[in-house]
Structure 1
Amino acid sequence: MKIVVIGATGHVGSYLVPRLVRAGHSVTAVSRGSSEPYHQDAAWHQVTRVALDREQGDAERTFAPAIAALEPDVVVDMVCFTRSSAEQLVDALRGSGALLLHCGTVWVHGPATVVPITEDAPRTPFGEYGTGKAEIEELLLAEARRPDGVRSVILHPGHITGPGWPMINPQGNLDLAVWAALAAGTEVVLPNFGLETLHHVHADDVAQGFEKALERQALAVGQSFHLVSERALTLRGFAEGIASWYGASPRLRFVPFEEFRGLTSPEFAESTLAHISRSHSLSIERARTVLGYAPRYSSLEAVEDGLTWLAAAGRVPAP
């Protein structure tokens, strides 16, 4: 098939594009500039590269027609964040027969009430990101139900991790000092009792989910799927697991969140609050049953793979 991947050089696209090439598809990689993927693969030599600025193109209403002009059989949209942007793409693709695979987020779910959270759970998002993605999901599911609508599938990743970038730590933020403290066995402060949850996923497992949705599109169209590891981690369990990986004994101290806020930067505190106020723990039963999704990495293994890269780059201690 002729596949256009929007945001092809990002976290997931860096793994997905080589998968698609190896499966025999003709791939056009669309990105804003000439950025390189997070890791090199010989498959990229067989990819057509197209530079398009989506933000500018959406404002001028030229981006979606440019994608449609490529005459794709499949569009993989990794970087759509507003309903307006999604509407433009849908309008441009309608009637073409193209399949649209949209990258959503587990943040379409607000605070967890019953866990694991299924795709059928009522949407209670808050914040611009989760709310915007929920609006896009609603649009695309309605579109898929129309007789002449664009065939759409929505795939919701958790906290994406892997080589090439920092990942969410056991405090629920991006403070690299937390990894160093766990490696050294020095004190790490966690909010509340450390029982809130985080649900990571390796970028290659997300790519696997997209490839599975493509392969089983007849079953997948008109549905949403969670793409996460087998099980979420509590903050406490996450910290203990990483300390053990480093061969250290964790020294954890638990304080009320408002006290925790005063012990870190405003940026890290806000990130922590954003994660623990949701405490996602997602079911992958639908993805497993319908798509055949089988994540290779546990949450800890995904993070350990990312930490190995960060250590090689000199940004965290080596195990």
Structure 2
Amino acid sequence: MRIVVIGATGHVGGFLVPRLVRQGHQVVAVSRGTSRPYHADAAWEKVERVVLDREAGDAAGTFAPAIAELGADVVIDMVCFTPESASQLVEALRGRVELLVHCGTIWVHGPSVEVPVTEDAERTPFGDYGTGKAAIEELLQHEARRPGGLRSVILHPGHITGPGWEMINPQGNLDLGVWEALATGGEVLLPNLGLETVHHVHADDVAQAFERAVSHQAQAVGQSFHVVSERAITLRGFATAIARHYGQEPNLRFVSFDELRGAISAESAEASFQHASRSHSMSIEKARTLLGYAPRFTTVEAVLDGLAWLRAEGRVTLPC
């Protein structure tokens, strides 16, 4: 098939595009610039590159028609964040492509209630990102149910990690110093008892799910799927695993959220709150059953792969 990937040079696209090429598909990689993908692969030599600025194109009403003119059988949209942008794409692609595969997020769910959370669990999303993605999913699923509507699949990744990505740490934020402290025996503050959860996924496992959504259209159309590692992990379990990987016992101090806010930057504190207040722990049974999704990386394995990249890039100082 001819497959157009929007946002193709991002963290997932760097793994997805080579996967599609190796499956024999003709791939058109759409990005807003000419940057190299995060993950190098010889398969990119066989890819058609197209430069389009989505933000400017959406404002002018030209982006979606330009995508439609690329003549795709399947469009994979990695970078749609508003219902308005999604609506433009649907209108342009209806009747012209076989399938649209949209990248959502597990943040369409609010705080976890019963775990693991299934795709059909009652949702209480909050924040612009989660509510926007939930609205996009509602739009796409309504469209897919209409006679003659655009067929679609929605995939909801967790906290994406791996090479090229600053991943969520055991404090629930992006502070690189937390990794260094865990690796050297330094003290790390965790909120409450550290029993809140996060649910990561390696970028290549996300790419696997997108590849399978394309090849399992009959089972996937009109559905949404969680795309995460096998199991979520508690903040304290996460911190312990990372510290012990570097030969340390974790030096953890448990504090209230108010204390945590006073001890770290405002940006880190807000990120910690956003992640811990959701405490996502997602089921992948639906993706496993209908798509054959089988993540290769556990949360800790995915993070260690990302840490190796950060260390090689000189972004963190970690023991060998």
Q: Quick check: TM above 0.5? A: yes
Would the aligned equivalents of 1:21 and 1:43 in 2 still touch at CA under 8 Å?
A: yes
Look up the match of 2:188: 188
Distance in 2, matches of 1:156 and 1:21, equals 23
Look up the match of 2:105: 105
Look up the match of 1:311: 311
Could you tell me the TM-score, scaled by structure 2's length?
0.99
Query: What are the ranges of 5 or more consecutive residues in structure 2 without an aligned counterpart?
Result: none
Distance in 2, matches of 1:202 and 1:264, equals 27
Distance in 2, matches of 1:117 and 1:48, equals 39
Distance in 2, matches of 1:167 and 1:66, equals 33
Aligned-residue offset at 1:21: 0.4
Look up the match of 1:94: 94
* More displaced stretch, 91-100 vs 68-77: 91-100
Would the aligned equivalents of 2:75 and 2:97 in 1 still touch at CA under 8 Å?
A: no
Look up the match of 1:176: 176
Match of 2:156, as an amino acid?
A: H
Task: For residue 262 of structure 1, give the secondary structure of its aligned residue in structure 2.
Answer: helix
Would the aligned equivalents of 2:238 and 2:300 in 1 still touch at CA under 8 Å?
A: yes
Match of 2:140, as an amino acid?
A: L
Task: For residue 155 of structure 1, give the secondary structure of its aligned residue in structure 2.
Answer: strand
Distance in 2, matches of 1:195 and 1:41, equals 39
Aligned-residue offset at 1:36: 1.1
Distance in 2, matches of 1:311 and 1:193, equals 29
Distance in 2, matches of 1:165 and 1:303, equals 10
Distance in 2, matches of 1:275 and 1:192, equals 13
Aligned-residue offset at 1:105: 0.2
Match of 2:232, as an amino acid?
A: A
Look up the match of 1:137: 137
Could you tell me the TM-score, scaled by structure 1's length?
0.99
Q: Runs of at least 4 residues of structure 1 off by over 2 A? A: none
Is 1:56 equivalent to 2:52 in the alignment?
no
Would the aligned equivalents of 1:123 and 1:134 in 2 still touch at CA under 8 Å?
A: no
Task: For residue 231 of structure 1, give the secondary structure of its aligned residue in structure 2.
Answer: coil
Distance in 2, matches of 1:53 and 1:100, equals 19
Deviation by residue 1:47-68 (Cα, 9 ceiling, x = unmatched): 0000000001001110000000
Is 1:9 equivalent to 2:9 in the alignment?
yes
Aligned-residue offset at 1:257: 0.5
Deviation by residue 1:29-76 (Cα, 9 ceiling, x = unmatched): 000011110021100000000000000100111000000001100000
Distance in 2, matches of 1:105 and 1:41, equals 26
Task: For residue 27 of structure 1, give the secondary structure of its aligned residue in structure 2.
Answer: strand
Is 1:221 equivalent to 2:221 in the alignment?
yes
Look up the match of 2:280: 280
Aligned-residue offset at 1:97: 3.8
Aligned-residue offset at 1:98: 2.4
Aligned-residue offset at 1:287: 0.1
Look up the match of 1:158: 158
Would the aligned equivalents of 1:104 and 1:157 in 2 still touch at CA under 8 Å?
A: yes
Aligned-residue offset at 1:315: 2.0
Would the aligned equivalents of 1:312 and 1:318 in 2 still touch at CA under 8 Å?
A: no
Aligned-residue offset at 1:276: 0.5
Aligned-residue offset at 1:313: 1.6
Task: For residue 263 of structure 2, give the secondary structure of its aligned residue in structure 1.
Answer: coil
Distance in 2, matches of 1:248 and 1:311, equals 18
CA RMSD of aligned residues (A): 0.7
Look up the match of 1:268: 268
Aligned-residue offset at 1:164: 1.3
Aligned-residue offset at 1:311: 1.2
Distance in 2, matches of 1:193 and 1:135, equals 34
Distance in 1, matches of 2:89 and 2:166, equals 31
Deviation by residue 1:271-293 (Cα, 9 ceiling, x = unmatched): 00010010000000000000000
Match of 1:227, as an amino acid?
A: V
Look up the match of 1:29: 29
Aligned-residue offset at 1:259: 0.4
Is 1:294 equivalent to 2:294 in the alignment?
yes
Would the aligned equivalents of 1:98 and 1:151 in 2 still touch at CA under 8 Å?
A: yes
**What is the percent sequence identity of the aligned residues?**
72
Distance in 2, matches of 1:115 and 1:14, equals 31
Look up the match of 2:247: 247
Distance in 2, matches of 1:186 and 1:270, equals 22
Distance in 2, matches of 1:98 and 1:71, equals 11
Match of 1:104, as an amino acid?
A: G
